[in-house]
Amino acid sequence: MRKKYSKNKAQSAKDIPTLQDEAPLIMKKRKNLLRKNLTLSLTDFIAKPEETYDINNEYKFLEKLGFGTYSQVQRATRLKDGTSVAIKICSGSTSIELLKKEKLLLEELDSEFFPQIFDFKVDKVWNKAYLVMEHIKGETLDNYIRNCCKIPKEIIEDLICQLCAIIKYLHSKKICHRDIKPENIMVTENMTLRVLDFNISKKLKNTQEDIIRDEVFYTQVSTPKYSAPEITSKSGYTSAIDIWGIGIIGYLLCGGSLTTEEFNEAEGIYQEKKYFKQYIQDSHFISKDLRDFLSTCLSLDPAERPTTKSHFFNSDIINSIVGT
């Protein structure tokens, strides 16, 4: 059964974050930065008092939409015309640079699969940056999966086809997302997917049409429980990690779970990933074609995963979504 979407909560004084709300986030960030030995400035740790109310009197902040490792995202109103926007806020020089890159990548994407970018502001005094974008109404795929008891086969098939169309589009633009996971995907009210968070995405240098797997990365990115097994290997990884991401989303949509509490050591996580393929093969309630496709996406060897040039990515259904 389709999940009903909860409406946005009405704004109340309680929704406006206070310094106390932000304290755990600030402490977490401080720890992460210290671990990475990065230079810190005082303003990295002190919440800018008026930030919860506006940026240059142009936006009014309403409520927290979510947060991730690098940022906090607020819903706000653009005061000049009342448009509802989402504002991603980062602080500290490293995070600001990443947000700038995210803005540039998103601006290249002329498609409804991604949020439209409206504005970008840097506050040099408080060392903060604000990426103003389209507010996507709906919920994260993470919440959607958590709130559904069993997702119907038709919905699983439709969502996977949409995700394939999105990855095909990104790879055709020579962009490797590098962080495909349910928290970075939104399901809108009419069940269309939108991909967010290009914070650690990479523009590939290779300009040849169909060999984007050539470029090898070594930076360890993404979230261990979702990430492709080769991310931690010394030989590096390619855009095939996004294909693994499709497989993981398929695994979760089919009811698979990630037991990271028990398997929090790197080797444990790796062992667990070996079972995903078999789990999909045993998920007989989805079509054989989809089972075969998802299980190859979950191949531990990236060379065995399909590329966006392969048969499944070029089926009529996926071409019709990409074309919209």
Ligand X SMILES: Nc1ncnc2c1ncn2[C@@H]1O[C@H](COP(=O)(O)OP(=O)(O)O)[C@@H](O)[C@H]1O
Q: Does 102 bind Mg ion (CB under 5 A)?
A: no
**Nearer to Mg ion (CB atom), residue 231 or residue 322:** 231
What's the chain look like in SS3?
A: CCCCCCCCCCCCHHHCCCHHHHHHHHHHHHHHHHHCCCCCCHHHCCCCHHHHCCCCCCEEEEEEEEECCCCEEEEEEECCCCEEEEEEEEECHHHHHHHHHHHHHHHHCCCCCCCCEEEEEEECCCCEEEEEEECCCEEEHHHHHHHCCCCCHHHHHHHHHHHHHHHHHHHHCCEECCCCCHHHEEEECCCCEEECCCCCCEECCCCCCCCHHHCCECCCCCCCCCCCHHHHCCCCECCHHHHHHHHHHHHHHCCCCCCCCCCCCHHHHHHHHCCHHHHHHCCCCCCHHHHHHHHHHCCCCHHHCCCCCCCHHHCHHHHHHHCC
Q: Which of 29, 88, 177, 291 binds ligand X (CB under 6 A)?
A: 88
Which stretch in 3-11, 60-68, 148-156, 273-281 sits in contact with Mg ion by CB under 5 A?
60-68
Q: Which residues contact 16 (CB under 8 A, 6 or more apart)?
A: 52, 53, 61, 62, 63
77 contact choice in Mg ion, ligand X, none (CB below 5 to 8 Å, kind-dependent): none
Q: Does 256 bind Mg ion (CB under 5 A)?
A: no
Q: Which of 51, 52, 55, 71 binds ligand X (CB under 6 A)?
A: 71
Q: Which of 45, 68, 153, 203 binds Mg ion (CB under 5 A)?
A: 68
239 contact choice in Mg ion, ligand X, none (CB below 5 to 8 Å, kind-dependent): none
| Helix axes of 288-297 and 153-172: crossing angle, nearest 10 degrees | 50
Which stretch in 84-92, 98-106, 137-145, 180-188 sits in contact with Mg ion by CB under 5 A?
180-188
Residue nearest to Mg ion (CB): 68
Q: Which of 77, 91, 162, 184 binds ligand X (CB under 6 A)?
A: 184
Q: Does 106 bind ligand X (CB under 6 A)?
A: no
Q: Does 184 bind Mg ion (CB under 5 A)?
A: yes
Q: Which of 140, 201, 283, 308 binds ligand X (CB under 6 A)?
A: 140
**Nearer to ligand X (CB atom), residue 69 or residue 271:** 69
Q: Does 66 bind ligand X (CB under 6 A)?
A: yes
Cα 223 to Cα 193: distance, rounded to the nearest angstrom: 20
**Nearer to ligand X (CB atom), residue 89 or residue 160:** 89
133 contact choice in ligand X, Mg ion, none (CB below 5 to 8 Å, kind-dependent): ligand X
Q: Does 65 bind ligand X (CB under 6 A)?
A: yes
| Residue ranges in 189-228 that form contacts with ligand X under rule CB under 6 A | 196-197, 199
88 marked ligand binding residue? yes
By CB under 6 A, name the binding residues for ligand X.
Answer: 65-71, 73, 86, 88, 115, 133-136, 140, 183-184, 196-197, 199
The residues of the shown chain that bind Mg ion, judged by CB under 5 A, are 68, 184, 197
Binding site feature residues: 88
